[in-house]
Structure 1
């Protein structure tokens, strides 16, 4: 015969229910989680808009997104936020161009919360010379926004543009 009284059984049962509920919540996918296909489609949409001149993939960045330019280019380092990246890389880059970059996507691959984009891009610098480069970007997405990015590209082509052409107004 059990010596547990009714209140003790209720409390113990409640604690077990709470523990099981917490475990189920921890193991369940996040309500805002996107599938790899949804992440890929969101990135593809922004690259299509960029190519058409009606948008860009930076619209996907969360405000606190960390963007790292890998390698040894003049801009290689980790940028701790969307604004830091845009202010220190994208705006000065665009200010060096008379015809902005137009991407041609080679491939977009998605797995779990990661999307990898391999693309070529070309534009015209303020000095009239073409800028051509190939990029590989690795995105980590949460709830449809990029929270982390790593970028690889030809640093020789980038450094040439960065040092040769002064940003315009």
Structure 2
């Protein structure tokens, strides 16, 4: 473990230069020694890297995921979340949402990720949001999420930029 991390907690410094990004991969290649917490954190780091290289973070979601936006709505299933929860924001962005992980914590089957999301909206104005997602894993997929975010930033984007299909 590097000097920036301790059990269940990873700092931004260790995200940049500590453990490998591939799901389940150890820096020393000995995957059998990793705990579920370490594997799940690696899965989340890999999902951030995939998002930031043109893929989708959401590939990590199980089809039957239950996603709750705290003080908002609960979505039942990946399809419903992507079409009704994520699309109203993502469809208003010119660039993909760049996710910058700030902190990761893990306890058993749960990973908490605090990160910044940045993009350019269709009107050319920057979009910035702070997120904290509490994600519960079943095997290698996320099955439950509690998402905390700046709803003022989302509402301003939605009010300012017309949605495209």
TM bracket, shorter-chain basis: 0.7 to 0.9
Aligned counterpart, 1:162: 158
Q: 1:127 aligns with which of 123, 127, 144?
A: 123
Matched residues in 1 for 2:159 and 2:141: separation?
32
Which one has the largest radius of gyration?
A: 1
Runs of 4+ residues over 2 Å off in structure 1? none
Q: Secondary structure at the match of 2:47?
A: helix
Structure with more helix by fraction: 1
Question: Is the contact between residue 119 and residue 128 of structure 2 (CA under 8 Å) also seen in structure 1?
Answer: yes
Aligned counterpart, 1:57: 57
Aligned counterpart, 2:8: none
Q: How many residues align?
A: 131
RMSD: 1.2
Structure 2, unpaired ranges of 5+: 1-34
| TM-fit CA distance, 1:56 | 2.2
Aligned counterpart, 2:107: 111
Matched residues in 2 for 1:162 and 1:114: separation?
31
Aligned counterpart, 2:82: 86
Under a length normalisation based on structure 1, what TM-score does the superposition of the two structures give? 0.74
Structure 1, unpaired ranges of 5+: 1-33
Aligned counterpart, 1:139: 135
Matched residues in 2 for 1:157 and 1:81: separation?
25
Question: Is the contact between residue 66 and residue 75 of structure 2 (CA under 8 Å) also seen in structure 1?
Answer: yes
Matched residues in 2 for 1:63 and 1:78: separation?
15
